[in-house]
Amino acid sequence: MNWLNYHHLFYFWTVAREGSIVKASTTLRLSPPTISEQISALQQSLGAKLFEKQGRNLVLTDAGRVAFEYAEEIFTRGEELAEALSGRKGERMARFTIGIVDVVPKLIAYRLILPALKLDSPVRIICRESNSDVLVSQLAIRDVDLVISDAPLNPSLRIQAFSHLLGQSGLSFFAHPRLARQIKERFPKCLDGIPFLMPADNTDLRRSLEHWFEVRAVRPVIVGEFEDSALAAVFSEAAVGAFASPTSTETQVKRQYGLSVLGRARDITASYYAISLDRRLKHPAVVAISEFAHRSVFS
């Protein structure tokens, strides 16, 4: 009998959940080469390749998805066993795992997810962040219950899932009050020549902004690029540069970071989707998220 090394399986499971060996190394407090060696040993033991590279990311192969599904069951049941034997079984709530595509603004994600924490029958919300391909692959094997994304499901992915539009928002442009006071031109010309914090180049929002700037002959000075809009807001709070965020978060951005609004662009639209395996939304948490999004977040 070939005995399975569960340490190796745990390292594989963690890499699959985190989306990269580098992120998993932080979680596991092990060096990336050590984790790579353990996964290679697991692949050799199973006789199957579990990951393949897509750009800078690791994605699961067909065999990897099967292995991940079993690993998820093994380690989830292990947690339940520990809880049951410690007498906490009655305290467990139903788990609901939400995958949040890493370019979705944190303030948008927070407002969308909050209603799921206020259901009559409480659920334990588990949030995971990664790129869209990783999260959708986890959705396909039911390791994730819902994916919140800035784009609909990629049609090239062979996954039977459905994209539900949660809402759309124009953009607001923010800057530190000190920087805002130095601006003499009216919006959007005021953006010309000022330091600006751009979204990462792998996002629809980045492409939309670049086109919008070009059409209006506005050329800000790009001083930083960020996948995480919350980090861009922190730099803007330090007066490093202006940045753009969905208008639906305007009140929260002004209050949380003390920034001034330079202007608004209704012709640049950021869209947000709930991607699920259901054609019609059924789970109470998903229904609550969708209804709140349409009623309050993007109304």
Domain parsing of the chain, residue ranges: 168-271
Asked whether residue 92 carries a pLDDT value surpassing 60, the answer given is no
Reported confidence tier of residue 93, pLDDT bands at 50, 70, 90:
low
Torsional sign, CA 228, 234, 237, 239? negative
pLDDT in tens, 134-158: 899 888 888 899 999 999 998 877 7
Q: Is pLDDT above 80 for 57?
A: no
pLDDT in tens, 152-179: 998 877 788 899 999 999 999 999 999 9
Dig out the tokens for 28 from the structure.
Answer: 């596991």
Least confident interval from 3-7, 83-87, 229-233: 83-87
- What's residue 84's pLDDT? 63
Q: What is the pLDDT of residues 70-80, one digit of tens each?
A: 888 888 777 76
Query: 175-214, pLDDT tens digit by residue?
Result: 999 999 998 889 999 999 999 999 988 788 899 999 999 9
For residue 55 the two structure tokens come to 């750009």
Q: What superfamily does domain 168-271 belong to in CATH?
A: Periplasmic binding protein-like II (3.40.190.10)
- Binning the chain into helix, strand and coil, the percentages to the nearest 5 are 45, 25, 30
- pTM for the full predicted model: 0.68
Backbone angles phi and psi of 188, in degrees to 5:
-95, 0
Residue type, 298: F
pLDDT at 91 over 60: no
| Model confidence at 55: pLDDT above 70 | yes
For residue 266, what are the contacts with CB-CB under 8 A and spacing of at least 6?
170
221-226 and 195-199: which strand pairing? parallel
